[in-house]
Amino acid sequence: MKKLEQIYEGKAKKVFRTDDPERFIVEYKDDATAFNGQKKGTILGKGSINNRMTNLLMQMLEKHGVPTHFVEELNDRETVVKKVEIVPLEVIIRNISAGHFASNYGVEEGIVFEHPTIEFSYKNDDLGDPLINSYHALALKLATKEEIDTIIRLSFKVDEVLQEFFLTVGIKLVDFKLEFGRTSDGTIILADEISPDTCRLWDKDTNEKLDKDRFRRDLGNVEDAYQEVMSRLLAKSAEK
Ligand code: UDP
């Protein structure tokens, strides 16, 4: 497959067209941003870790019946994915209070929920990704009712599979963000990435933060944290 021109550059990834009209190539960068792009930096080795971690987790999700955009890892930083039109919704699932849940509702971080929560943001940088509900998403024609139902069902399934898996490597899956896409035949599949950039991951025993909060909050050892998660995942997948 031939990598053709770049069609998009986001905060953490570039997307390229290929000679196959149904495939894109994603390239992961070491660039990191937070607070809607106000804080910028580099996390050395992040691109490679996020690429490999996303691919590993997406392949696991496929086995559990969650359709994803993953096709083939090309190298450390590049992956072939199915071409999709991204649904402009950021889906956030939470198992434990943290981040905006804690600040918006005035509770401490670390409260374990009896049932996970789901929320949507309208993916729009100019508006600052405002929080919306599914009725707003319908009114804004971001997705159909059926698509929203599918997205909700798949998101909770992702949570179930990933929570269980992360626990086996001593990590609590606190919360995470997902994005979905539509293939050319209209199927909704999981797209984007699943990495310490998009998940809050806490060590099961110490609650040490092993994710992008180390960058957002200047906690230090950012690279080490990403590497630690990746090492645990690789050790686990080598067991099988
Ligand atoms: N998240 C993300 N991209 C965003 C916003 C949030 O990947 O643009 C992830 C974030 O890493 C966390 C979860 O979604 O794992 C919940 O984030 P929250 O709403 O608490 O916002 P944050 O405090 O991360 O800005």
Q: What is the pLDDT of residues 75-98, one digit of tens each?
A: 999 999 999 999 999 999 999 999
Task: Read off the pTM.
Answer: 0.97
Architecture in CATH for domain 85-221+232-239: 2-Layer Sandwich (3.30)
Q: What is the mean pLDDT of each run of 10 residues along the chain (240 residues)?
A: 96 97 98 94 98 98 98 98 98 98 98 98 95 98 98 98 98 98 98 98 98 97 98 91
The CATH code for residues 3-82 is: 3.30.200.20
Distance (Å) from CA 99 to ligand 1 centroid: 7
pLDDT at 36: 85
Q: Locate the ligand 1 atom nearest the alpha carbon of residue 92 and give its number.
A: 14
Q: Locate the ligand 1 atom nearest the alpha carbon of residue 119 and give its number.
A: 19
Choose the residue to mutate in 127, 194, 198 for probing ligand 1, maximizing ligand atoms within 8 Å of C-beta.
198
Taking the domains of the chain in order of start, what are their residue ranges? Answer: 3-82, 85-221+232-239
Is the separation of the CB atoms in 65 and 56 below 8 Å?
A: no
User: Whose CA is closest to atom 6 on ligand 1?
Assistant: 177
Per-residue pLDDT of 132-152, as tens digits, reads: 999 999 999 999 999 999 999
